[in-house]
Amino acid sequence: MKSLLSSRPVLWFLFLFNLAVAAVVPFAVDGVQGIATGVGMGVVSLGAGFALLTGARPSRLSARHAFRSPNPS
């Protein structure tokens, strides 16, 4: 799941979709709920945009490598 969420097409979708929703939802939903939803979607969009800019890639280590002791005995 982590590798899927960090793929470039998914990051672009998350960035653009959440940015559009964050811009529209305060006008579509009244009150605190609309503002909170807009802020939450904006945070997700900023996170995806930051990942796109930095070129963040998932670690290529498998689970068994991640838990391997640095000092084999």
Q: How far apart are CA 71 and CA 73, in angstroms?
A: 6
Where exactly are the structural domains of the chain?
2-58
Task: Convert the pLDDT of each residue in 19-72 to its tens digit.
Answer: 999 999 999 999 999 999 999 999 999 999 999 999 855 555 444 555 555 666
Give the end-to-end CA distance of the chain in Å, rounded to a whole number.
33
Q: Which residue has the higher pLDDT, 73 or 26?
A: 26
Whether the CB-CB separation of 38 and 22 falls below 8 Å is answered with: yes
Structure tokens that stand for 2 in this block: 């982590």
DSSP state of 70: S
Query: What is the pTM (predicted TM-score) of this model?
Result: 0.67
Find, among 13, 14, 72, the residue nearest to 43 by Cα: 14
